[in-house]
Amino acid sequence: MEKQITIIKGDGIGPEIVNEAIKVLDRIAIQYHHTFHYREVLAGGCAIDAYGTSLTQETLDACIHSDSVLLGAVGGPKWDHVDPSIRPEKALLGIRKGMGLYANLRPASILPQLSHTSPLRKDIVDQGIDFMVVRELISGVYFGDKQTTEENGELVAVDQMIYREHEIRRIAHSAFQTARKRHGKVVSVDKANVLDTSRLWRKIVHEVAKEYPDVTLHDMLVDNCAMQIVKQPAQFDVIVTENMFGDILSDEASMITGSIGLIPSASLGEGSIGMYEPIHGSAPDIAGQNIADPIGTILAAGMMLKYSFDLSKESDAITAAVNETLNQGYRTADIMEDGAKQLTCSQMGDKIASCIK
């Protein structure tokens, strides 16, 4: 298989961690006889320095016309005071919107070797944590009209929350299809006792569910879901929800796994193209020191193989190589523990690449 991958290393630790993911992809290419072509473009703070804007049309075109995008992270204190219209994070919103990436998939899973990093009680963690949050990404209250006006001598702010049938339908399909690749269980999260958008959400999700008789569907109110994630995370397989609820719940889900450096995410749209990245930011406090944890980015490359290129075997080989490396007792500084062997970022990439079978 031959694929064109757009590479956005970004800022801070971005270049360090993306280099390690490319190392692992190159190993997969050799072992499984594929060819990955990389085209590197700038986005985020480095693009502000080079072009005066965090996202150029040329970068967006490179993303749209490739088979997938692998991103490190953008942003940092250097660009904290630039004009809000060109902030580094604007590049991500621009790419998501420009590529029509409406589904964000974020796994929350904990490797047995790292179960001590979870802030949850051991007996809860031991039941297993392995679920996927499927979040609607380009609609809802974050994208509705916003206005602050004055009324009777005081300020009043309004954020409009809009969901259209087709926006709910397509994310519901993403969730059911994801569940088919996992354990066939979807929990749809809303606030249907209060919000009209949620009542429409529930109606459409149930309509779509009829096309997936092999997948079970349950509804859950968002406040209950926030509690259940910490009380009994083992009950979840796939959680599907709207943009703002998903933003909050996916961060809660990451937190219970304990290690921000290890979690990947995928943003998908129509067709197979997607953008893949770790969930963390550019970690300016450790940038340039070769101590960042590259595992989140390496697993993001693994998700790219599975969700965009339909290479499940190769994707599983990456997960297995990460597991084996951890089983052998190797750790980067962020997850270091007594008795383990500490590796730099590039050594961790080398080790994982060498474990690809």
Ligand X SMILES: NC(=O)c1ccc[n+]([C@@H]2O[C@H](COP(=O)([O-])OP(=O)(O)OC[C@H]3O[C@@H](n4cnc5c(N)ncnc54)[C@H](O)[C@@H]3O)[C@@H](O)[C@H]2O)c1
In angstroms, the CA 184 to CA 198 distance is: 23
Handedness of CA 320, 321, 326, 329 (dihedral sign): positive
- Write down the least CB distance from residue 241 to ligand X, Å: 20
Q: Alpha helices of the chain — where are they, by DSSP H? A: 14-32, 45-51, 57-64, 88-99, 122-125, 165-180, 196-209, 222-231, 243-257, 295-307, 312-327, 345-354
Does 186 help bind ligand X (rule: CB under 6 A)? Answer: no
140 contacts 241 by C-beta, under 8 angstroms: no
Q: Which of 247, 276, 307, 330 is catalytic?
A: 247
User: Judged by CB under 6 A, how many residues of this single chain contact ligand X?
Assistant: 22
Q: Shortest gap between Cβ of 169 and ligand X (angstroms)?
A: 27
Regarding 285 and contact with ligand X (CB under 6 A), the answer is yes
Catalytic annotation present for 306: no
- Cα(129)–Cα(126) distance, rounded to whole angstroms? 8
CB of 47 to ligand X, least distance (A): 13
* Interface pick for ligand X out of 15, 75, 107, 246 (rule CB under 6 A): 75
User: Are the beta carbons of 80 and 17 closer than 8 angstroms?
Assistant: no
Which residue has 């990460």 as its token pair? 322
Catalytic annotation, pick one of 78, 97, 185, 191: 191
| Rounded least distance, CB 285 to ligand X, Å | 5
The answer to whether 259 and 114 have CB atoms below 8 angstroms apart is yes
Considering 223, 285, 310, 316, which one is annotated as catalytic?
223
Considering only the stretches 68-76, 129-137, 177-185, 231-239, report the one whose residues sit in contact with ligand X under the rule CB under 6 A. 68-76
**Which of 62, 187, 253, 292: binder of ligand X (CB under 6 A)?**
292
For 355, the token pair is 């474990």
Which residues, 83 to 112, sit near ligand X by CB under 6 A? 89, 92
Residues 6+ apart with CB under 8 A from 156: 148, 149, 150
137 lines the binding site for ligand X (CB under 6 A)? no
- Is there a catalytic annotation at residue 191? yes
- Mark whether 247 is an active-site residue: yes
242-271 residues in contact with ligand X (CB under 6 A) are 260-261
Least CB distance from residue 64 to ligand X, whole Å? 19
